[in-house]
Chains A and B, each alone.
Chain A
Amino acid sequence: MSEPTTDNFDDPALKGLLKRASENHRASDELRLRAERILSGEVAGMITQSQPAQPQPAQPARRSTGRSAMLAIAALLVFGVGVWIANIVLHRMDLAHQAQYVADNRTIIEKMGADSLARPSSIVSELTTAEATQQLSQQLTRLSELEVRVPKLDDVGYELNAGSIVTVNNARCARLDYLSKDGKTITVYTLPTSAFQKVDAGDIYSHQTDDRLVAGHVGEDAVRCIVTERNFNVQQAFGLLERFKR
């Protein structure tokens, strides 16, 4: 059996065509802004959200089909540029909003990160049977006066270890601790919105401390935060957080 040659074949004509077609390719201003923020560490755990497709630069028409067609293209261009600019402005506002959220609430966010590393002092239950889980949910809901769901995370390798009531920033909140077989932890807090400096229902955020990832969602009734290993996938963290919402 012979090995195929690995000499790099060349096709200058095709390369020339493809390079010509892509020489004007530039990342959009919006993407560049996002990249700069990520690389500067300004937004440590940006949340990936699907953005509407950016309007593409109009391809050059092969043949002119008359003045009316040109006018129509010009109108479309103006519209496209308008939409594009609006997207950039809206996205900048979104990024700024999230950064402001983390700045406003940095103290409590970092306290949760630190608290999650310590064993809670007032454990309500360490029982993790199905009945006990249901009971734990009711007890934590009663004691915290916030609705606390206690879902399973077995499918991602974490088992419920304990539920407790703790105080963070003088706010009474429910804490759930999940543990993986290799000793990694997921801690979920349900806190009253009053514990935060400034929050709006529907806000989501993520923040990385020195060694923890904190991701949260502001609901109508409470703020639910998941605290886990710093290198935990942000999207997965938000996916898990969904299970704790009402």
Chain B
Amino acid sequence: MAPTRDEFSRLALEQLDALDRFARSLTRSGDSDDLVQETLLRAIKSQHTFDLRSHGIRSWLFRICHNVYLTRGKRENAQPRAVEQETLQSFAAPIIQWEESIENSELNLAMSQLSPELASVLTLWAVDDLSYREIAEVLDVPIGTVMSRLHRARSKLAARLGCENRSELSRKPSTGMQATEME
């Protein structure tokens, strides 16, 4: 059932902070406000397709935001730059010793140095508590790609913050399942 216009506006406004945070994880040039604005314009136009019972509005807005981001050509022509192959073993959760003393400023700086693909996955997973499946739907990528990106995001973040990544020492030779990603 589609919400009323007023209800839709209220729900969308409640997600503004989260939407802004997600937009900032995608953009690096300070134009996240424009991205959010265009997302809301598209959301308004498509609100009749939004079903409150079957979708959470947050994931729905994130999906629109990501589509807008892609169509605005922020992602370097959407051309595949490299085909990355991740193995099943590499999806195994790396064991990282995060230090509680890490300051917010350090963490924000390290996050800003990640690519938008990695930063957005990390934000959706850690801050917005989206499941792999939900993240895959938002970004329109396979779940394997979400796992791969999350793995790389955590490893890179750990490296930038100087945290110990024990899985680097014990990674096994790769065989088996491959996830393909256009980056």
Contact = CB atoms under 8 A, between A and B. Distances in A.
A234 to B, nearest CB: 8
B138 interface: no
B133 A6 contact: yes
Given A22-B21, A31-B36, A46-B37, A11 B96 contact: yes
A2 B132 contact: no
Nearest to A18: B126
B17 A60 contact: no
A221 B176 CA distance: 68
B141 interface: no
A60 B33 contact: no
* Interface footprint category on A: 35 or more
A54 B133 CA distance: 33
* Interface footprint category on B: 35 or more
A20 interface: yes
B40 A38 contact: yes
Secondary structure at the B interface, as helix, strand, loop or mixed, is helix
Contacts of A22: 21, 123, 127
Secondary structure at the A interface, as helix, strand, loop or mixed, is loop
Given A26-B17, A31-B16, A53-B30, A46 B96 contact: no
Interface in A159-178: none
Nearest to A27: B20
A155 interface: no
B31 interface: yes
Interface of B: 5, 8-9, 12-13, 16-17, 19-21, 30-31, 33-34, 36-38, 40-41, 44-45, 88, 91, 93, 96, 98, 100, 102-105, 107-108, 111, 122-123, 125-127, 129, 131-133, 143-144, 147, 150, 154, 157, 176-177, 179
Interface of A: 1-6, 8-9, 11, 13-15, 17-22, 25-28, 30-32, 34-36, 38-41, 45-46, 48-54, 59-60, 62, 231, 234
Given A1-B176, A46-B37, 8 more contacts: A5-B91, A17-B102, A18-B107, A21-B108, A45-B41, A50-B31, A50-B34, A53-B30
